[in-house]
Structure 1
Amino acid sequence: MDYDLRAQPARATTDADGRSVPDASTERWFQAVAQGFHDARMRPRGLDVAVRAAAADGATLRGAYLTDPPPLDLDPHTPVATFISFDKTLNVGGGRLLPLHMITDVTVRPTHRRRGLLRQMMTTDLTEARDAGLPMAALTVSEGSIYGRFGFGAATWLRHISLDTSRRFGLRDEASGRVEMVDPHACADVVRDVFERFHARERGSVDRPSWYPEWVTGRYDPTSDEPDQRRRAAVHHDGSGTVDGYVSYRVEQDGQGPRQLAIQDLVTASDDAYLGLWQFLAAVDLVENVTFSRAPMEDPLEFALADPRLYSVTRLEDVIWLRVLDVVAALEAREWVQDGSVLLGVRDAMGMAEGTFRVEVRDRRAEVTRSDREPEVVLDVTTLGSLYLGGVTVRTLRRSNRFEGTPDALDRFARLMELPTRPYCVTRY
């Protein structure tokens, strides 16, 4: 069976109500994505949000199309595989934002798997990104066994937590600042501003696709194709009255069971705002449990509680998977805290980051150059992606047999790669 692989931008016209109306090929592409993730067919409002966001992000929509569709095919003009990419930034620590190639909406129709379609789209897309000077690619995954073979390694993780907010709840010290409830549908500008400040300070943060404010504010609910009327929101003001954090949430109830407050998004530009918003959430009446699926791995809330046993971790989730495209640019941009040097050998089955590199760190900055010498430490590009932000240590991966090298070289490499905190990315996409 033959396939035609095509790439296109998101194309649409604007109707009398100001809504984006995609052309036929763009709508078929997005409907194929919905099918791939077992979602309902996209309706006008959902298409409007998706197409406008893709256009704003300058996204490339890739698809695999049958050149000779069989009789009774689902739709000969609909792609049997999809793949979208666009460029944003990644906070790599030290106040630096690295250009980042972001990939999502990867699907292959069940009847066309194991035909090499994903590999062809991925190889073409990553090659174009590397040739355009992008040093790093990223994605989030639905299945953890797929993307390692393309050089991606899990790099950031989140906690899913449950907090008992009954009368036992209390913080060791009263949180500072002031919290006020706001109309969630009217605070898109606040959402953008606070996230921009969070993104600038938090190593591991990736910039958000343009559809995010629509979802955070509840102005679009994918389940109803209308605004989410159950969405609520609050903002935190610092001592000067500046908004430095927000929370978007819903109070839900399963039948006659107890109500539960489910946080949709909580983003802050300060630790005071983080604890202040939690103090507010714990005070919401008629609710004795709050859940949050985007808590940091190093969560100050856990240790700010008078009774830390009110805090439960229900699940750990990998979020951002990184794929190094340019070793020199990526490592020179990274945050470093230890001086030292190592000859690092990188293996890459796709050939994009293959080579030996001398990494020399002085005064928190790295100089990285290619070398013809024998490497002291050898690792796969997937391992480099996992190590890059400090989400896992060399010592841990060493026990997983992820390196080659002498004990002395691996000890030096472990010290060199150390970072003071774990990364935090609050963005799934």
Structure 2
Amino acid sequence: MSTTEIPVVASEDDRAAFRAGPVDEQSQQRLAANGLAYRRVPVDSDAFGPWLQSVARGFQDSERSDEHIASARERSSYRRVTGVYDPAAPVSEAPVGTIASWIGELTVPGGALIPSCAITAVTVAPTHRRRGIARAMLEGELRSAHAAGVPMAMLTVSESTLYGRYGFAPAAASATWRIETRRAGWIGPVPEGRIDFIPRQRFRELGPALHERARRRFAGEIDVPPGHWDNFAGTSPVAEKAGEKRAVQYTDASGEVRGLAVYAVHENHDDFTKAKVSVHYVLAETDDAYAALWRFLLELDLVAEVSAHELSVEEPLWWMIADQRAATITMRDHQYVRILDLVAALETRRFGAAGRLLLDVSDPLGFADGAFVLEVDADGVGRVTPVERDAAPDDAVVVRLGITELSAVYLGGVSLATLHRAGRVVTDDPVAAARVFSWHTPPRLSFWY
């Protein structure tokens, strides 16, 4: 991969080479100086079971059974799995630090896809804090991704304060909705077509292709890792309470399936007219599918409340209910991104307005440090030229910021003018700079990974 030929998708050869690549030498030496070993863990090896047990412990989860390990092994072949080991520990085969990653594809403003290193399963044993393990693993994974030519990194986080020091920024927030159905009142469209119940296995079969068609509509979405579809549908052999899940599909007037949803009903034993519905996943390729699925969910019989997670911060649903106060909405950080190759990242996305900016970027890890002229034409296409820091064109708006701040505005989820007001960005024309980086729809990510 290069900055002059930006791939639309990551090839299977790229993915396989990244999975099989060595651990970062700098991090390996740093950990070795502290008496720790840093190595990849083949998914098909005996070392995978102890690695998975350490991950479960790190997330305060229960011990994994042999069945859980076998299922996870089957669904983890796409991941690069790495562990940090303490040879002096009583159970030396169990890592004291874990991390996993793979090359995914991030949708950016304009609908293009950019290869991105998706990072997950980051844990450090509480017995081994403050020994540089998290730093070595995260910096090592970023250096490995950069060396492989991957222009972006991304993750969803449990501990939000950890990742800013490595250049990650919350770039796509998510919303949690709780809706009182009797107050809501549907005033949205009533599309032609039909909603039908389907087996959960049918949802599992339809989901991947439908998501591939739908995900380019929203910056922030990524390709779904293979094992996640079984999690959504409850079709994994180790899925808990899978029988609670119900699946429906929306078929348009021409007979094409354009939307899917999975939900569960939780009965109220004190009042059978006040059940609660948890929406696990809504996937809509079209606006009609979106409206039909949400109308169905909000008009279910004997249901008083519908809740849903990982929604956009600007859902059309807000304007489809008669009483907006029927919805209680909370927001939180969700999709974090980190630019590794600034030229490739900016030339892949589209921009909201024409303009010329001089981006003076500081990056403590050195991947994207420097000065760059960004020229955006009337079609929103950007071209990036590295320059000396004192060589700004006379008509360029100068913007000085860190890689964390540039990563934050990359998907269009926060205005550059807002970061300027927050003291995170320095520029003499925040309005002009914000217009360039703006996008007409907020980014979103509809699941955790």
TM-score greater than 0.5 by the shorter chain: yes
The runs of 5 or more residues in structure 1 that have no matched partner are: 12-22
Q: Is the 8 A contact 1:219 1:226 kept in 2?
A: no
1:2 to 7, 22, 35: 35
Q: Is the 8 A contact 1:164 1:289 kept in 2?
A: yes
2:8 counterpart residue number: none
Q: Partners in 1 of 2:250 and 2:339 — Cα distance?
A: 37
1:370-394 per-residue CA deviation (whole Å, 9 max, x = no partner) reads: 1014362110111111100000001
1:66 partner amino acid: D
> Of the candidates 122, 130, 149, which is equivalent to residue 114 of structure 1?
130
Q: Does 1:92 align with 2:108?
A: yes
TM-score by length of 2: 0.87
- Structure 2: distance between partners of 1:316 and 1:178: 32
Offset at residue 303 of structure 1 (A): 0.4
Aligned residue type for 2:434: A
Q: 1:245-284 counterparts in 2 under 5 A?
A: 245-253=259-267, 256=270, 258-284=274-300
Unaligned runs of 5+ in 2: 1-33, 393-397
Aligned length: 407
Report Cα offsets for 1:229-288 as digits up to 9, x if no partner.
111010111121111111101111466464200001111111111110111112322212
Whole-Å separation in 2 of the counterparts to 1:116 and 1:255 = 51
Alignment match of 2:370 (pick from 340, 355, 361)? 355
Is 1:416 paired with 2:416?
Answer: no
1:379 alignment partner AA? L
Partners of 1:215 and 1:221 within 8 A in 2: no
User: What CA deviation, in whole Å up to 9, does each residue of 1:186-228 have, x standing for no partner?
Assistant: 3212111221112122221111111111111111386xx5571
Trace 1:113-192 onto structure 2 (pairs within 5 A): 113-166=129-182, 169-192=185-208
TM normalised by structure 1 equals: 0.91
Distance 1:196 1:162 in 2: 28
- Residue 368 of structure 1 aligns to a residue whose secondary structure is strand
Letter in 1 for 2:102: F
Partner of 1:15: none
Matching residue of 1:337: 352
Partner of 2:403: 381
Q: Aligned partners of 1:227, 1:259: CA distance in 2, in Å?
A: 17
State the 1:412 CA deviation. Answer: 2.5
Match of 1:19 in 2: none
Alignment RMSD: 1.7
* Contact 1:221–1:227 under 8 Å retained in 2: no
Residues 1:210 and 2:254 are matched in the alignment: no
Q: Distance in 2 between matches of 1:50 and 1:166?
A: 41
Question: 1:420 is aligned with what amino acid?
Answer: H
- Indicate whether 1:35 and 2:50 are aligned: no
Q: Which residue of 2 aligns with 1:81?
A: 97
Q: Give SS of 2:113's match.
A: strand
Question: How far does residue 173 in structure 1 lie from its aligned partner after superposition?
Answer: 3.7
Distance in 2, Cα, partners of 1:290 & 1:48: 35
| Partner AA of 2:418 in structure 1 | T
Tell me how far apart the structure 2 counterparts of residues 413 and 166 of structure 1 sit (CA, whole Å): 45
SS of aligned partner of 1:185: helix
**Aligned pair partner of 1:306 in 304, 322, 347:** 322
Pick the aligned partner of 1:320 from 324, 335, 340. 335
